[in-house]
Amino acid sequence: MATYSGRVQNATKPLWPVATLVTLTGLNLLDYLDRQLLAAVLPALQAGLKIGDEQAGTIATAFMLGYFITAPIFGWLGDRLPRRWLIAGGVFVWSLGTLLTGHAGAYVSILFFRVLVGFGEASFGTISPGWIADLFPPSRRNNAITIFYFAIPVGSALGYLMGGYVAVHYGWRAAFLWAGYPGLLLALTLFLLREPVRGASEPAETATVPSPPSGWRTYLALFKFPGYLLVMAGYVAQTFAMGGFSLWAPTFLCRVHHMALDQAGFFFSASLAATGLVATLAGGFWATRWQRRTGTGYAWLLALSASLAAPVAFAAFTLEDLGQAKLALVATMFLLFFSTGPVNTLILETVPVAMRASAMAASIFAIHMFGDLWSPRFVGFLSDRWGDLRQAVLCALPGALIVSAIFWCLLVVHTRRQRAGEKGP
């Protein structure tokens, strides 16, 4: 059987696991800070460029096009080539795109540069989780993945906070400039890390890592794993809801509840940081303990979080009282982030080791192609046509969370049956 290397690293001696995890988590934080700048400065950008809600939503769509279209390419490369160079190049490209966004003089230019940002982030987001998985054994892997993804709420919150503040005091262009320069320098830190052999953290009985299927058959082979497909179906629906929510929630607070832009940005960023940090870590660590005890903890946590998020999100967009609406928004954010660690761990563990980068790439492609590629623009389209942002978000978002809950409940059933089959009669 073909393998990546003549030897496989012992799982008890990973190369620089903590340093690598800290570095990649820091870059992931910068990734999501950049990603949420657009939502934070959106009203100021719209006023400056004189564009409507549908055009504003299209800017977010442009980023997603660059992100999810190139993800399969980087997934294929990430299972075959040195990952350090691929990730470093991605960080440099997205940072350059961010800088150019701040200098753009026309709407069309911004669309192009946001595509470039998506291209760079696709390399980093596709390959980094597999690198982390090779540094930590299964018993510790979900906790490591959870720490990596806790950068999502923290980085997003910093993006909202910094973007809103800078847009009010220095203009929306300055926000992209402040976020772009650090990334150009941080890309160099990747060359200080040592890359582990693929499969280095797997148990001895599964230490031999076969080569992935040749060519693009890697992606067709993913359809052989029903657990992976159920994880992805629920993830697509959840991402559809989160995409519309993350772009339009600050604007919703400004337009419907008449909050000032900087106040809405501060509330949303502070809530995002607090709920995301607590929920991501609590959900991830709880899922690890639940998984060790039952073998189905990851799946159960996904189903539970989505089932509770749907009615809470509905309340957040219908309550007239600002205080109650803000409380419901906070609860919605908490429940959405609760599943962050386990869902990404399942993406990696429901497929063979040799296909992890490809599985992550396919997940990125699917959740954006069928999820948040369309939801920001769809909400903007409905808002322009109906003249009511509240009705637009209510039509698009809570229902998607119900769909997510259905698929993840089916994942629980599949996981229990699979475990029963492994134990035998």
- Average pLDDT of 47-60? 78
Whether the pLDDT of residue 307 is over 50: the answer is yes
Distance (Å, whole) CA 369 – CA 331: 27
Distance (Å, whole) CA 383 – CA 247: 13
> Nearest-CA neighbor of 256 among 383, 374, 364, 152?
383
Average pLDDT in the chain: 81
pLDDT at residue number 301: 94
> Nearest-CA neighbor of 180 among 20, 35, 24?
35
Q: pLDDT grade, residue 8 (50/70/90)? A: very low
- Average pLDDT of 246-256? 82
Candidate ranges 53-57, 62-66, 85-89, 334-338; pick with highest mean pLDDT = 334-338
Q: Which residues of 209-248 are buried (b: 16+ CB within 10 A; e: fewer)?
A: beebbeeeebbebbeebebbbbbbbbbbbbbbbbbbbbbb
> Nearest-CA neighbor of 212 among 369, 365, 24, 361?
361
Largest CA distance in the chain: 68
Per-residue pLDDT reduced to its tens digit, 158-190: 887 788 788 778 878 888 888 888 888 888 888
Helix (H) or strand (E) holding 115: helix 107-133
Q: Looking at residue 355, what DSSP letter applies? A: G
Q: pLDDT grade, residue 9 (50/70/90)? A: very low
Distances (CA, A) of 316 to 20, 240, 320: 39, 17, 9
Q: Name the 3-class secondary structure at 100.
A: helix
Planar angle of CA 353, 189, 273, nearest 5 degrees: 80
Per-residue pLDDT reduced to its tens digit, 364-409: 888 878 887 788 888 888 888 888 888 888 877 888 999 999 999 9
Half-sphere exposure of 97 (CA within 13 A, CB side): 27
pLDDT at residue number 312: 93
User: Domain segments of the chain: what residues?
Assistant: 17-203+210-423
CATH class of the domain at 17-203+210-423: mainly alpha
Q: pLDDT grade, residue 327 (50/70/90)? A: very high
pLDDT at residue number 238: 93
Distances (CA, A) of 60 to 248, 267, 332, 368, 395: 11, 22, 22, 11, 19
The rounded Cα 181 to chain-centroid distance in angstroms is 22
Residue 264's CB is within 10 A of a number of other CB atoms, namely 23
Q: pLDDT grade, residue 204 (50/70/90)? A: low
Distance (Å, whole) CA 51 – CA 400: 28
pTM > 0.75: yes or no? no
